Structure 1
């Protein structure tokens, strides 16, 4: 009902106008009956941004609170009526002015006015004549000539027995809250197979429409349209007729079985709703989902109506368990969902890095907050009515439990469902996009690739985890790049024997004679003591234990660190410096992360960058 129509009705019938509750107030208006100081109605005006229009458009929402006395409990559950908005009390009802038929609003106000005039007494059947105040009246009486009465012959329409039976079956003893759906269900069963071929068209507009709201002409219009739809012809008609057809199928009327009714709803969605009336789909899609759940239809058959729900569930579950999906798939999903436009110079490596960083975030508490639950999604449980805003008669569900997946389940009880699911946090996509950006930015900086990116305002604890995860990812890369050497210790004795034979064949006669001398000879002992004295401040045994260095490797390394002579020691033992250097570099790689010995002009030396580190590691007292 429009506000102008309501104001005209109040003035013409009661000489009443809405008055602001306080002078100058433009949001709340009141109605007061003559002789009664109490208000019997409140009109409230809300201004909100319209969801259906550009941002510059504003939408005015009007609500009406009416004092209907004991009659309030009878009409509160009618379509469009609800609990009051501004006041409390069982005698008050509320309604959305644009959702209730004008005749019903007038009846409710008429009842409330008579109740107020009688000082809230129940003798509301008395009639009152109210004369407009002429001095303020905008509408003045003018005499009108009454035309002579003509004899008009009214041709009565012939009522089909089925329609007659259906209309007579309406049970007025049922309360509106429960009786409306039950009466509709009973009438739908009577007219389930009825067909009509009515040539005229009568429009029909009603919130929560039923057969009981239709005139005979409207009933015939509807059944003619339904007959065509059942035969595959979808013609444009009033939306209220379409809703009645939907209600029939939701109640299991018009289909061979539950699945057949579901398929007929899908046909209507495809051939009528999408083509002629897309606004219906916002309700129909939810009702289709509820119908599948309520009747325990196979998810493989009905999964198309859950496409968006299942896709969101899959995405949130992937964010919860990224290790269960391929890193490239994980990366593409996040980039696509957040519409992140930059391309990492790391190429395919970036996908592995992003997945690794995300797993690190999941495993790291952020100042007592669980990253996934606080920033991404949380487990939610809500109890909601099934077939909300549809006229569906109360029945028992076909199953007590329905599962879409491991994270999305429904517990059914009567016409209600307790839904347990993952619900995304409000800004989770913005958080994910910021994380991708920072992983991209910091990895460019760490690997020195690509142009630099500007940092964003990502939460510092999250940023610290990302930095640490990038370093650990690089360390894993280095570890994976190490050559894997397999040694067959079963052949070790044979290798030693062959090496000994080879060494013996390479010795000169003088060297053989020198080797044959007594190793306890004082001259030799003096030479060895001098060599040992040069490295007396190293603990060779400790070094060998710590890094698995042999005695020869320890001696060679420590001599290089102190820049002392190592030639005589290696010559005496016939050792090659290049072989010792390669072995030392490999054994210290885990600690240093790089080779520590290099060759310049075929001479080994400690790399300058690691000289100080090695001194701290191996020199006593340092």
Structure 2
């Protein structure tokens, strides 16, 4: 093109911008859409570029070189060859009409529609996804499935997913096929299964694995139902309190351990709540009595696991969600897809219970085939538990329409009764203290104490802190009135006394002054009659011994026991005798002398109270 040549696009832009031309009589009538007044040849509707003519020349009849007869191409193969030919082509002629067809291909389009599609595809590849006919969107996905328009499988997966998510804003009808095709694309090209983390099929598989792991400790046959998923769980020890096998559980044994294992029950409850037709987690009873509802519901389901194994051909879980099977599988079903070369033999594991296999170009799928979503039978069981537990607890409102078979009602009632009985037997004791009655209790205690006091004790309380005059004991007075009779009892062996009690020698000196004031000289000559070391006439106690301590008579084994305690040795108990009785006898004989227990049993055995060691040692001196 010479220097004087003008760019045709620039010339058209100038003409369209010329206001004088716009106001010309040639354009003064009629209604015009928002489109250029002057078009290039490619933009004209009746113009068809040569590339389209060449594409249409690709015939379904293919001659075979060296052979007399050719063959007809399938619709999928013809689409694949034409798509390869038009892979990089772009057009600039928008189409505003509608195009609809089952299994649409290029051959189903008119020239105008064909040009409109490649114009729309050019915008999509630039990132501008616009609303158009759903058939156009399907053809674009067909191209991606057949390897048209991407550099590697990961790029192809990303393009399919991005286009699907963008176009569903215009038409959610694309979800039905695009989701399956994206799933198959990852398997066909052996991509990372984590790319399908949002795939509903994989989510259902993971939910089934969760159900199996929650109920498998109580229904061991589930290990074969989900053998791969539970291969590791089979090696783990069984949870505490769970039976090793269904056959070993007695009918009268608790279905679940008591007290409840809250963590284990919560896993089962969550599985039931996620898959039961009745929304147990929305129940008003569960909101106000969560522990009661959760435990009874889980125990009933455990019982139903046993019941189904015994009385039905399949277990409760298998009956609700299907059984594992291997069946033939068609990749990219409902799509126009062609394999130029058969797929190599391959094995692909989407998850532990969902696997694919390709042998000789034929695919099979091994998975759990059955119902999907929420289980109606599980919902009926859960609703029956809710209704009968409300009646047992007197909870309002009741579920009047929660009818169930007799065998199920019997199981539910038995588990409710067992739970409520256990709960009642192990309920914490409630102690209600009425503080307003404490003053009355103090008053009653004071009156009782006053009634038990003797006259002398009342006189002592009246005297207050004034010292009591010294006096001697009369012969007719009880021994409890002696100087040593008021010693306070000890609480533990070896602890210090709160008040000092005079030793026998101090008591004797005190009593020497008493006859001068009392005038009772007949008591001066009374002597302490002790046998053995304690029973000899002794010295220093003949004149006032009767006033200090009454007569004490100890046996030889009792004296030996006391000597051992004084020396810090382990006392020896005579054969056939009881140490408790021996100690009680010694304490009883010394009580009148000391006014308190002399020997007590501590953490290390019998011991002599420290406050009385000097008293006992002095009395045992010859």
TM-score of the superposed pair, with normalisation by structure 2: 0.47
Higher relative contact order structure (alpha carbons within 8 Å, sequence separation ≥ 6): 2
Bigger fraction of residues in strand: 1
TM-score of the superposed pair, with normalisation by structure 1: 0.47
**Higher alpha-carbon Rg:** 2
